Structure 1
Amino acid sequence: MPTTSRSARYDDRVIAAARAVFTEQGFAAPMAEVAKRAGVGVASVYRRYPSKHELVEHVRIAAFRLILEEAEAARAEEPDPWQALARFMRRCLREGAGIGTVLPPMDQQHTYSEEFRDLRLRVAKAIEELVEAAKHAGELRADVDWTDILLLFKHLNPALPTNESRRAELRARYLGLVLEGLRAGGSRLPGPAPDRDEWQALCDNFATS
């Protein structure tokens, strides 16, 4: 197996383990627990990710990549804009996806990579395009903004004391209810949607005034 393939498989295992451990135990969980869950040595984890915040950055990068893949696939394969949006949300919340997992606040002392910053912008644009297309088609309610969609992922993926299979079933169940509420024609929603700055602060787990 090529070195790059082994490295990618290693990263996938560690990132999936980190996401699961931080979801279940919080950011205080030791790196040793992440290593144990991934089935690798803790020293090798530290060689690849020198700090816990760097590991969390890569967990977020993996989530960004998945969101982009699902958004692009939905737009390419679903001609109906509403079905594209609904498919995108279902796929992002499917079993094992990890989208919406509550991570620790962004570390203001950590220098985030160019890849991270670029992916965050691309994610926002991709979701905005899905939302605007569904609104333009008259199928999505006009008072829903693209920022609402990512925050819904957080609401629909809380840390529940059960296994991932059951959590995924519950996410799918409550997403079904949410999708009915997103359709055009309902009574106006109370309060405004978050703007870009508030959305980013909330997604990064920063307090807002």
Structure 2
Amino acid sequence: MTAHVIRTWSDYSYNINYPTKKVLPNLNDLIKRYNTIMFCPLHFQEHVIGYYAAIADDLLVNPGSFYYVQRLVESINQALENFRIEYLLRNANNELSLTHLIDPLTNIYNRKGYFERINELMLGNEKCNVILVSCDMDRLKEINDTYGHSEGDIAIKAVADAIKTGCGKDGICARFGGDEFILTVPYNT
């Protein structure tokens, strides 16, 4: 059995089937008790996430009641749409904030990201002992000139992956320039 709503008023027309068990498990009892039950879908991120059920004896007889329910559902859907937009904006802003801190080729910090992380580390610890390793790739220009820049990128990524593995979860690694890397690992004496 499905709940079936059909009603046409001037510019509003609805003919929608809803699976009864998903909407209201006790729908048959409600139909016996009330003259009208109207279901309106609630949308979030292009998905129906629930239903608003309006139950009344005069809902479809009294146009004012119908419009009130319709406006309420529109308001709920607009609030959900606002949440969706805020969610998307927050995610986009988080991604954008990372783009100026992360090197896109190696997916490790760039120079700016490194300095921000080091400042956070040092501010939290007055006496912070660290191991600092700086390295420069030899012959990157030779790789680029002989095999092409895509092979040079592969070499840069391989070095970045090795440095990332070497610094562990507490370390901070960054690509400082074209072929320059830095690794900082805090330690206790």
TM-score exceeds 0.5 = no
Task: State the TM-score, normalizing by the size of structure 2.
Answer: 0.24
**Higher RCO (C-alpha 8 Å, min separation 6):** 1
User: In proportion to residue count, which structure has more strand?
Assistant: 2
Task: Pick the structure with greater CA Rg.
Answer: 2
User: In proportion to residue count, which structure has more helix?
Assistant: 1
Task: State the TM-score, normalizing by the size of structure 1.
Answer: 0.23
